[in-house]
Structure 1
C-alpha cells in the first residue's frame, strides 16, 4: 500500500477515526491489525517471514534479560545471526553466488549452485526488509546493553516491528523511543493533528510534485546513457540529487506525520542535508536513523575515534562499506558507500593540519566561506550519487567520463520543455527556501486551514502520478 494512493488515504482515515473512538486499551490491538493489513497489501506471504523474525527476537529479548554472563552474549549473537541470515538469504544470496561464479571462472572452475531465483522463480525481496531487520536488531542489542527492558507483551512487541507508518522505509526506531508510547494513554490533541497533517501534506508535495517530476528527466537520461550528451547527464544527475532527497524525505515526513496524527512521535530522519558544510555534517543530516544506527552499533563498538588514526580510518571505511551493502546487493552501492568513506578519511587526514582546521568553519564563519563549503560538499555528494543511480558500475564510469568530457557539452535534449524546466527550477527554489527558513515551521490554526488545502490542491494539480513507487522501497 503506497502512501501516495487512494487506498492509503481511505485506510488512514478509517484507522485514525477508529483509533480515537475505541477504548484506549484496545488501541494497540487495532494498530497491530492495521499494520499487518498494511504490509500484507504488498505481498501477503511475506507477513509470515516478518512474523518469524518477530517471534525469534521476542523470545531472544526475554531470554537475554533473564540470562547472565556469556549466555547473554550467545543469545544476542544467535538473534543477530538469525536476523542477518534472513536478510542475507533474500537480499544477498544471488549477489554472493554471482561473484563466486566469476571467481570460479577465473580459475577454470564451475559454480554448481544455481541462482536463488531459478530455484524459487516467484521469490521477491520482501518490502522494507533492511529497515525492519535493523529495527529488530536494535531491540535485542538495547536489551543486552541494559538500556531497554524486555517486552513481555507479544502483541506490543509485534507492533514495535510492524508499526505501519515507518515499517517499510523508516525511520529505523529504537525501542526506547517507541515501545513505551504504545502503552501510553492519550486523547485527541489538535496540536498533534495539525502538526501531523502539515508534515503529510509537505511530504506528499515533495514526492508527487518535485521527486516524481524530476524523475522524468533522470530516468530518461540514465536509461539511455550512450546516446546522452554530457550536459543532459549533468542535468539529470543534478535533478537526481533532489529527486532522491524529496522522495525519501517525503516518505519520512508522511510516516512521521501519520504517526503524529495518531498521537505517536517518531524521530526526525532528515535535516536539510544539502546545507551541510562537510561530508561529516551531511551524514548527521541525511537518513539520520540509519547513520546513528551504524554509529552506535558498528562504529563505536569497533573503537570509534578512540583508537590510532589508522584504526579510525579502518572503522570509518567498514561503516560505509556496510552502509553501501545495506542499500543494495550490487557493487555500485558498495562503491557509493566506499566513496563516502574515502571522503571522510581524507577529511580526517587533512583536518590534522592547521590550515585545514582554519578552513573548517562553523555557523559563525564568513558567509562566502560557508557557501563554498556547502557547494563543495554538494558536489562531492552529487558525484557519489552517480554510482547510486546508475544501472551498473560500468555505466556509472561511462557517465562520469562523459560529464568530464568537456567537448561533449551542447544544448541538452531532456524530457522536459522549456516551461516545465523553468517550473522545476522554481520548485527547487521553493524547496531550498523551505529547508533553510521554514524547516520546522508548523502554521497556527488559522494559517493551517489556508495552507493545508492549498498544498493538497497543488499536489493534485501539479503532481506527477506516473511513477508511484518510493525509491527506498527496494531496500
Structure 2
C-alpha cells in the first residue's frame, strides 16, 4: 500500500487521473492506519508479556459515522491526553459556546503543530477544527438521520484530511485536490488496481470489525489461532526478506 502512495509522487500529482488520485489517497489512509495501529498493538502485546496493561489506541476508526466519532476511535491515547491536559484546563465546554470553540481551535492548532512545524500540519488541525465545529453546531444532528450519507461524508472527510497531512507543500495539496475532483478519467488507474487491488481489498476488510466479530463467535479457536500463527510467520518472513522500512508514524 505504501508503494502505491509513493508512486503518486513519482508520477507527479498534476498527471494523475481522478480515479488514480483517489486510489492513491485510499492506499495512504490504509497504510498509516495499519502502520500506527500495528505497532500500537505490538506495544500492548509486549506490555502484557511484561505485566503491564496499556490502553487501546484504535477502535476501527474508519467505520465511524461522523468526524466526532472518528476522533473517539483514532489515536485514543493522544486525544485523551489533549482533552485532559489542554482542553479541560482551558475550560472545556463549560464557559459558553464562543469559549468552547476557541478552546477547540487552540487544541486542534496545537495538535497539528505536535505532528510537525509545517504549514500542512497546521491546516490539517484547523481542517478538523472546522469539521468538528460544524458537527457541534448542526451537522451531526443531520448526519444521524441518514446512516449511508453519514458514512460517505465521514470517509471523504478522513481521506481529504490525510491528503493535507501527507503532502507537505501547500501548492501540491492544491494540485492533488484538483485532481481528485477533475474530469480527467483516463485508464492509468487500471494498472495500479491490478497490482494493488487484492492488498487494498484485504486492507479495507481488516479495517472493519468483521473478522474480529467472526473470530469472537468461534467456539473452537484452535484452527483460528493456527491460521493467525501462519499469517504471523509469513509476515515475519516478508519483513526479513524486504528492505528496511521504518514505521511511517515514527517521525511524528
- When normalised by structure 2's length, the TM-score is 0.88
Q: What is aligned with 1:454?
A: 230
Give the C-alpha shift of residue 441 in structure 1: 5.3
Q: SS where residue 188 of structure 2 aligns? A: coil
Q: What is aligned with 2:116?
A: 328
Q: SS where residue 92 of structure 2 aligns? A: coil
Q: SS where residue 48 of structure 2 aligns? A: helix
Q: What is aligned with 2:205?
A: 430
Q: What is aligned with 1:403?
A: 180
Higher relative helix content: 2
| Contact 1:298 1:319 (C-alpha < 8 Å) held by counterparts | yes
Give the C-alpha shift of residue 289 in structure 1: 0.4
CA distance in 2, matches of 1:379, 1:432: 16
Q: What is aligned with 2:164?
A: 387
Q: What is aligned with 1:307?
A: 95
Summarize deviations over 1:168-209 as a string: whole Å, max 9, x none.
xxxxxxxxxxxxxxxxxxxxxxxxxxxxxxxxxxxxxxxxxx
| Contact 1:216 1:415 (C-alpha < 8 Å) held by counterparts | no
Q: SS where residue 95 of structure 2 aligns? A: coil
Report 1:173-192 matches (<5 A): none
Q: What is aligned with 1:364?
A: none
CA distance in 1, matches of 2:129, 2:196: 34
Match of 1:471 among 243, 248, 251: 248
CA distance in 1, matches of 2:119, 2:213: 35
Q: SS where residue 438 of structure 1 aligns? A: helix
Give the C-alpha shift of residue 372 in structure 1: 2.5
Distance 1:429 1:413, change over 3 A: closer
Q: What is aligned with 2:6?
A: 219
Q: SS where residue 186 of structure 2 aligns? A: coil
Higher relative contact order, structure no. (Cα contacts within 8 Å, ≥ 6 residues apart): 2
Distance 1:284 1:454, change over 3 A: same
Q: What is aligned with 2:32?
A: 244
Q: Which structure's CA Rg is the greater one?
A: 1
Give the C-alpha shift of residue 398 in structure 1: 1.0
CA distance in 2, matches of 1:336, 1:281: 17
Q: What is aligned with 1:290?
A: 78
CA distance in 2, matches of 1:394, 1:249: 30
- In the alignment, does 2:144 pair up with 1:360? yes
Match of 2:152 among 363, 375, 397: 375
CA distance in 1, matches of 2:32, 2:42: 15
CA distance in 1, matches of 2:204, 2:68: 25
| Contact 2:55 2:77 (C-alpha < 8 Å) held by counterparts | yes
Q: What is aligned with 1:173?
A: none
CA distance in 2, matches of 1:452, 1:302: 46
Report 1:93-132 matches (<5 A): none
Give the C-alpha shift of residue 459 in structure 1: 1.4
CA distance in 2, matches of 1:261, 1:471: 25
Root mean square deviation of aligned Cα: 2.5
Match of 1:345 among 133, 153, 164: 133
Give the C-alpha shift of residue 426 in structure 1: 3.1
| Contact 2:215 2:221 (C-alpha < 8 Å) held by counterparts | no
| Contact 1:217 1:415 (C-alpha < 8 Å) held by counterparts | no
Summarize deviations over 1:133-163 as a string: whole Å, max 9, x none.
xxxxxxxxxxxxxxxxxxxxxxxxxxxxxxx
Q: What is aligned with 2:196?
A: 421
Distance 1:358 1:217, change over 3 A: closer
Give the C-alpha shift of residue 450 in structure 1: 1.1
| Contact 2:65 2:151 (C-alpha < 8 Å) held by counterparts | yes
Distance 1:229 1:461, change over 3 A: farther
Distance 1:325 1:316, change over 3 A: same
Report 1:21-40 matches (<5 A): none
Give the C-alpha shift of residue 405 in structure 1: 1.7
| Contact 1:390 1:396 (C-alpha < 8 Å) held by counterparts | yes
